[in-house]
Amino acid sequence: MTATHDVLVVGGGRGGASLAIALEGSGLDVAMVEAAPAAAMPPVFDERNLSFAEATVNALRSLGVMQRLRAPTGAITRIHASRRGDFGRVVLEASDHGREAFGQVVVARDFGEALEARLADVAGLTRHRATRFTGFGPDDGGHRVLEFAGDGPSRLRARLVVGADGAASGVRDALGIDATRHDYGQVLLVARVQAARAPDGTAYERLGDDGPTALLPRGDRAWGLVHGVAASAADQVAALDDAGFLRRVQDAFGWRVGRLLSTGRRSAYAAIAVRAAETVRARAVLVGNAAQSIHPVGAQGFNLGLRDALTLAELLTDCAREGGDPGAPALLEAYVARRREDRARTLEFSDGLARITSNPGHAASLLRSAGLLALAALPGLRAGLVGGAMGYRGDVPAACRAGART
């Protein structure tokens, strides 16, 4: 017989795992399908440095995930943004906004281990591992029928399917949902670096023609580097020895943390944005990168995806309390409505920032300089920027505000 679940989450990465945890105690029969086997970590849990906004930290603490982190996090108490060749800069202090920190820097690998530790304690969660979604079977009344390959079941039924399977979402494709794709022509090189100055809570973002060069304050007294290069030069830069790579980064970033002394292993990621035209279909919803994958400048990606997952969890939990149908059209319509403002504003901010900051033209330089000077001078503009950076856009899930001073 084909097993049936109330909610079936396809994807065991950051968004899918967070949703499964958030649904604990909802009264729903929840299952998660994961491509990675039990002994392996999904590839998204690598050496990338994740910048968690305050709203994200609040939510993950309420879910019991932050407490499972074994490595120290790095508090972001100050944000310093500038662009090479432009006048002006923006320096934001958390203390000016009544906060101890804007957020925390967490290494993706450490976050993956914390999620796994928390998932192991989630009561009633069914995990189908080493199992790959291959498509939908014929509709089955009030359920979606899903087909799989791998070590798990070949077929499952669910009242609601959640596509949390990343930017190249198989669920999105199988639903026939179109997605726009924009290649920024940049590759982001990520590494752990040591500098003459240890982190002091400042997150630096130095923008340039080929993308951002960011240094994030990790909790291990090292810096988390993100260095954008033109895609055409990516192979050449990746082939540099450590000394040559550090010279290049130093030239792009400057001397705000003194001399860069050493670098760890480098990883490369193409900067490509993917945006689904729709986020729901009958008895199906997309969350996280399956719904939208954005340029990392401004560090909004996972924070936005987590708010997707937590909003859906709130609606599903309320539905279960009332004995409702988790795949009902009204619930999916409510989800779209609640996510509309946050999604639109965050996508516009991220894409606009990525495009204007990489434009080398003189007119763009003047516009950026005027914008930086205005942000530095006008408290009202800074307040709006800070609110978005901390994850407070639109209808924010209650878990994101837990313990926050608003």
**Rounded average pLDDT per 10-residue block, the chain, 406 residues:** 93 95 97 91 85 94 96 93 69 88 93 96 95 92 94 95 96 98 91 97 87 92 94 95 98 96 94 94 97 74 93 98 97 97 85 59 40 43 62 88 59
Q: What is the DSSP letter of 143?
A: B
HSE at residue 69, side-chain half, CA atoms within 13 A, is 20
Give strand ranges (E) for 108-259: 126-128, 131-136, 144-150, 155-163, 179-195, 202-208, 211-217, 223-230
Cα distances from 313 to residues 15, 287, 292, 403, in angstroms, run 11, 11, 18, 19
Distance between CA atoms of residues 268 and 277, nearest Å: 28
Distance between CA atoms of residues 232 and 138, nearest Å: 45
Q: Which tokens is 156 given?
A: 């499952």
Residue 363's pLDDT is 39
Distance between CA atoms of residues 154 and 256, nearest Å: 55
Q: Which tokens is 308 given?
A: 């997707």
Distance between CA atoms of residues 243 and 261, nearest Å: 9
Domains along the sequence of the chain with CATH: 3-47+60-72+108-180+273-362 (3.50.50.60)
Q: How long, in residues, is the chain?
A: 406
Global pTM value: 0.90
Our separate counts of H helices and E strands in the chain read 11, 20
